[in-house]
Amino acid sequence: MDTLITTLSAVTPDRVWGIDVPNYFWFTGSSAAAFIISSFAHVFGMEKYKPIAGFSLLMALVLLIAAPMNLIDDLTQPGRVMNFFLNGWENFPTSPMKWGVLLLIAYPILIFFEALVLYRPFFVKRMHNSSGIKKRFYLILTLGRKQINEEESKKDHHLGFILGAVGIPLALCVHGYTGYILGAVHANSLWSTPLMPILFLASAMVSGTGLLLVLIPIFQKFFTEQKRVDGSIIAELAKLLAWFIVIDLVIRALWLSFAIAFGNDPKNYLVEFFTIHFEMTLYVEYILCLLIPMIIGFTKLRNNFPLVFITGIVVAIGVWLFRWNTVIGGQTIPRSTPGFLEYTPHLLGQGSITAVLANWMLFIALVCLVTAFFPWDEEMSEHYKNKGLENE
Amino acid sequence: MDKSKREFIKGGFATLVAAGTSANAFTLQNPGRDAKDSRYIGNKLKQYSMIIDLRQCVGCQACTSACMVENSVPNGQNRTFVTEMEIGEFPNVRKSFLPQLCNHCDDPACVPVCPTGATFKREDGIVVVDSEVCWGCGYCENACPYDKRFMNKETKVIDKCTFCAHRVDEGLLPACVETCVGGARIFGDLKDKNSEISKLLANFPTTVLKNEQGTKPQVFYIGLDGRVENLLNATVSLDDMMREVIGLKPKEWATQRGDK
């Protein structure tokens, strides 16, 4: 029988990672997912994703530019960012955070160039129709290739394929490494599992698809020539979402069964943890945000556009909650002093609710900026014209 | 562009180039270790370690106070602390104390994850943090299985026990050891076979906290009751339980009030 221990005095342990970190993980994850969905068309040549491939690529870019701001905000000495680049390279093999620097730099650059290649014919047209400084600006965006002909467009296609093919592993790494950050912490019983990187990737595919289910209809409805939502692609995405949820659920089942049912000592802490958060985890995270969307995606309900739109919002929030429950929840598990912790983010200042909201505002601002610069709408309409969907 | 502006930009650019190419700017470790500063390197001939003889500890918290004063630790934060517990239920109950501090692990979990090289193990085994390099990401704090790192409220960087390296380098004992009334903390050099700590380790069964973490802690305990490590059987600290009752300001991270 266990002996009761009454703690008379102890120290409440210090914890560092607040609301910024789950938000960062959500952003990088959704970026990776958006990139992979765009690659379905660019690399795997899947025709049905062609109309949204360009837009998804731009979203991947924007999400990944906004994401690292969360990290800088979470630092207590953000002015020392240069120390990260200048020192401590001996820890490169063992510090997943260190890998992040290369990935967070390489990945957005790659997406940017892929977008330039993809939209090059449109930039060339714009260059010919403008003069002065504008002409020079578009000339730079075309990267000096000013011709539009069969040969050049073949070259574009080839370049797009190569960049997309290199980008897929990079996208997997840019989010997989965040899973590594947590998985590498063997001191934390919730985080410490080799499944963490793929678990993060699987749930990222869910949140990224959810985000596209929200953004694509809004942009198609209000910012394109045809002014209408392409219901078939939305239903297609909803079905894809359902498959991503299946993968996510399988990996979660593997994770929880090995950690709890077949686990050793830390399992007792995890049982206690999931008992505390039972309602939230089961009813909200699993049933509302995964199972119901999966049913919608696999049945005829996916043709019901308003329902699918709401599903997009729900799964995106659900994955955010999963990130929160993992990052914050993992830190609430006791290690040296008894008692689970609880976290209440403050309202203002660094690492606060306002800071995260500001990051979302930055994301929206960047979406506006990037969609204003890149002719995604022209490109999208062209696909619909080719498919003859315009008069559908 | 006028001339002064151009000169200014030129000057700024030249400074950047100079900074970028100077020997200390880009380093595999950190500037202090590259410069072979003795505070960073320590004494190669020593291997510092501590034994805590729980039979001698009376739970007076003198070590806690001495540490706070010696190291100017901000109010409400601790590099070392003595957890006070009651084991069992009336009438079969006894008091138990568990002094805790950084274990200065031989294979620390905190050091390899540091992305700036700010935290490292000296050659004499003391794990330290360079407060001028640390950028406060907190990865090491999460990696430490013992919760012995914290974000210093004043310096805004990670702080932890240093075995009072500044005193040890001068041939003094750590403040907590110096002040311990029962002689429960014994500090010394494991490479010196005649030191008190080597003799104690040779003659008494000792144990470490969370051996299963594989970090090879260098703080050994004599008389540690394994039951105190099972935190799920323990109530949360009375301080935390009372926090809400007496209307203290809620902390961002606080212990949940347990029902046990």
B151/A12 touch (CB, cutoff 8 Å), yes or no: no
- A83 within some domain: no
Residues A166 and A228 in one domain: no
Domain that holds residue A194: 190-337
- Residue B2, pLDDT score: 56
For chains A and B, count residue pairs whose Cβ atoms are closer than 8 Å: 239
pLDDT at B19 over 80: no
Q: Which residues of B touch A347 (CB under 8 A)?
A: none
Q: How confident is the model at residue B7 (pLDDT cuts 50, 70, 90)?
A: low
Residues A138 and A201 in one domain: no
- For B102, name the nearest residue in chain A, comparing CA atoms only: A336
- A85 within some domain: no
Residues A212 and A328 in one domain: yes
Residues A305 and A288 in one domain: yes
Residues A329 and A353 in one domain: no
d(CA A198, CA A247): 10
- Residue B260, pLDDT score: 39
Phi, then psi, of B175 in degrees rounded to 5: -60, -40
- A8 within some domain: no
Residues A280 and A219 in one domain: yes
B237/A8 touch (CB, cutoff 8 Å), yes or no: yes
SS (H, E, C) chain B: CCHHHHHHHHHHHHHHHHHHHCCCCCCCCCHHHHCCCHHHHCCCCCCEEEEEECCCCCCCCHHHHHHHHHHCCCCCCCCCEEEEEEEEECCEEEEEEEEECCCCCCCCCCCCCCCCCCEEECCCCCEEECCCCCCCCCHHHHHCCCCCEEECCCCCCEEECCCCHHHHCCCCCCHHHHHCCCCCEEEEECCCCCCHHHHHHHHCCCECCCHHHCCCCCEEEECCCHHHHCHHHECCCHHHHHHHHCCCCCCCEEECCCCC
- A87 within some domain: no
A336/B251 touch (CB, cutoff 8 Å), yes or no: no
Residues A350 and A315 in one domain: no
Name the one residue in this structure whose structure tokens are 């958006």: A34
- A214 within some domain: yes
pLDDT in tens, A242-276: 999 999 999 999 999 999 999 888 899 999 999 99
Least confident of B16-25, B52-61, B103-112: B16-25
Question: What's the rounded mean pLDDT across residues B125-144?
Answer: 95
Residues A246 and A178 in one domain: no
A87/B84 touch (CB, cutoff 8 Å), yes or no: no
Share of chain A above pLDDT 70, in %: 98
Residues A290 and A261 in one domain: yes
pLDDT in tens, A316-332: 999 999 999 999 999 99
- Residue B245, pLDDT score: 78
SS (H, E, C) chain A: CCCCEEEEECCCCCCCCCCHHHHHHHHHHHHHHHHHHHHHHHCCCCHHHHHHHHHHHHHHHHHHHHHHHHHHHHCCCHHHHHHHHHCCHHHCCCCHHHHHHHHHHHHHHHHHHHHHHHCHHHHHHHHHCCCHHHHHHHHHHCCCCCCCCHHHHHHHHHHHHHHHHHHHHHHHHHHHHHHHHHHCCCCCCCCCCCCHHHHHHHHHHHHHHHHHHHHHHHHHHHHCCCCCCCHHHHHHHHHHHHHHHHHHHHHHHHHHHHHHHCCCCHHHHHHHHHHHCHHHHHHHHHHHHHHHHHHHHHCHHHHCHHHHHHHHHHHHHHHHHHHHHHHHHHHHCCCCCCCCEEECCCCCCCCCHHHHHHHHHHHHHHHHHHHHHCCHHHHHHHHHHHHCCCCC
Whether A54 contacts A35, CB under 8 Å: no
Residues A223 and A154 in one domain: no
B234/A5 touch (CB, cutoff 8 Å), yes or no: yes
- Residue B20, pLDDT score: 52
- A381 within some domain: no
Q: Which amino acid, A149?
A: N
- For A81, name the nearest residue in chain B, comparing CA atoms only: B135
Residues A133 and A101 in one domain: yes
How close A65 gets to chain B, by Cα (Å)? 19
How close B89 gets to chain A, by Cα (Å)? 7
Q: Is the peptide bond before A334 cis (omega within 30 degrees of 0)?
A: no
Residues A162 and A52 in one domain: yes
A81/B138 touch (CB, cutoff 8 Å), yes or no: no
A339/B237 touch (CB, cutoff 8 Å), yes or no: yes
- Residue A322, pLDDT score: 96
- A317 within some domain: yes
The number of domains in chain A is 2
- Residue B180, pLDDT score: 96
Q: How confident is the model at residue A367 (pLDDT cuts 50, 70, 90)?
A: very high
d(CA B119, CA B126): 11
- Ramachandran assignment for B104, one of left (phi > 0), alpha (psi -120 to 50 degrees), beta (any other): left
- Residue B16, pLDDT score: 59
- Predicted ipTM of the assembly: 0.90
CA angle B4, B5, B11 (to 5 degrees): 90
What is the pLDDT of chain B when averaged over all its residues? 88
What is the pLDDT of chain A when averaged over all its residues? 91
pLDDT at A353 over 90: yes
- A229 within some domain: yes
Question: What's the rounded mean pLDDT across residues A203-225?
Answer: 93
- For B257, name the nearest residue in chain A, comparing CA atoms only: A339
pLDDT in tens, A270-313: 999 999 999 999 999 999 999 999 999 999 999 999 999 999 99
Question: What's the rounded mean pLDDT across residues B218-235?
Answer: 91
